[in-house]
């Protein structure tokens, strides 16, 4: 396939990035909702695909993208520069713990590392991209709480176990679960990801399921509708 992934309105060069474009990131970029977001933060941007999707979806927004890996941050910066959204998207090479700004974000998104306390990947950079412990999620919640506007929201995509941990700890950081979308491959398969929305205000949680496939290799109408503005296949 090569290192270039072409979308309808932009393309992403993945060369040198430990973690490539995947379904998790594309789903998150397409599913998040926030009316009239003006300031957006993508934590752990990797190739920059989610930041670019959000720049496309929110034409009045400025998008900051933070990435700890130097090579990935450089690739994201180049992808931003080569896009039609170059004036509104900026890459920052920082660990999120060291990222400080006076900006309060309407929308914060992250497709973070998620294998908490699991066997580490022998390839170090991929390990950074995919592995984290409970302290990482505590830090992530702390930074979201620090950087989120009072009426803002934060959307994360995580495996079930990690999503449950984050939701359980959220109240300690003045955050509450506003929405949870359970992602399944198809109706016969168990949930393998949760997309969760955290916000300041405590409300009754909106809960739904989302199925990727109708049958083997056949996407659901919902999946195609969600991604029709991005993927060339639709």
* Burial class (CB within 10 angstroms; exposed 0-12, middle 13-18, buried 19+) of 136: middle
Among the listed residues 114, 174, 168, 112, the one whose alpha carbon sits nearest the alpha carbon of residue 142:
174
b/e 167-187 (16+ beta carbons within 10 angstroms → b): beebeebebbbbbbbbbbeee
Least confident span in 8-12, 60-64, 71-75: 71-75
Q: What is the pTM of this model?
A: 0.91
Distance between start and end Cα atoms, the chain: 18
As assigned by CATH, the class of the 4-227 domain is alpha beta
- β 191-199/148-158 pair status: antiparallel
Q: Please name the residue that has the structure tokens 């959220």.
A: 170
Residue pLDDT, tens place only, 147-160: 999 999 999 999 99
Cα torsion 83, 25, 57, 73 to 10°: value is -40
Q: 82 Cβ partners below 8 Å, 6+ apart?
A: 10, 11, 13
The structural domains of the chain, with segments of one domain joined by +, span: 4-227
Q: For the segment 88-140, what is each residue's pLDDT rounded down to a tens digit?
A: 999 999 999 999 999 999 999 999 865 444 444 445 444 443 445 668 899 99
Q: List Cα–Cα distances, 115 to 10, 13, 83, 121, 131, in angstroms.
A: 30, 26, 32, 10, 5
Whether pLDDT at 179 is above 80:
yes
Q: What is the chain's mean pLDDT, rounded? A: 91
d(CA 4, CA 218): 24
Pairing of the two strands 191-199 and 176-184: antiparallel
pLDDT of residue 126: 46
pLDDT tens-digit readout, 181-218: 999 999 999 999 999 999 999 999 999 999 999 999 99
pLDDT at 135: 86
pLDDT tens digit sequence for 9-43: 999 999 877 778 899 999 999 999 999 999 999 99
- Three-state helix/strand/coil letters over 11-30: EEECCCCCCCCCHHHHHHHH
d(CA 230, CA 53): 8
Q: Residue 163, SS3?
A: helix
């Amino acid at each position: 396939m090569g290192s270039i992934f072409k979308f309808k309105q932009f393309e992403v060069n993945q060369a040198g990035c430990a973690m490539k474009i995947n379904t998790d990131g594309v789903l998150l970029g397409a599913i998040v909702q926030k009316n009239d977001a003006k300031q957006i933060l993508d934590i752990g941007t990797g190739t920059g695909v989610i930041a670019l999707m959000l720049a496309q979806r929110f034409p009045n927004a400025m998008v900051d993208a933070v990435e700890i890996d130097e090579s990935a941050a450089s690739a994201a910066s180049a992808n931003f520069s080569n896009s039609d959204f170059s004036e509104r998207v900026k890459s920052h090479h920082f660990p999120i713990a060291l990222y400080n700004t006076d900006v309060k974000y309407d929308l914060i998104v992250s497709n973070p590392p998620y294998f908490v306390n699991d066997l580490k990947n022998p390839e170090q950079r991929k390990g950074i991209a995919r592995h984290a412990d409970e302290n990482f999620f505590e830090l992530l919640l702390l930074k979201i709480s620090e950087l989120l506007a009072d009426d803002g929201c934060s959307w994360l995509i995580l495996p079930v176990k990690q999503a449950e941990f984050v939701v359980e700890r959220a109240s300690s950081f003045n955050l509450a679960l506003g929405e949870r979308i359970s992602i399944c491959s198809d109706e016969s398969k168990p949930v393998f990801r949760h997309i969760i929305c955290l916000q300041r205000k405590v409300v009754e949680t909106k809960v739904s399921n989302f199925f990727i496939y109708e049958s083997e290799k056949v996407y659901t109408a919902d999946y195609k509708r969600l991604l029709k503005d991005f993927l060339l296949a639709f």
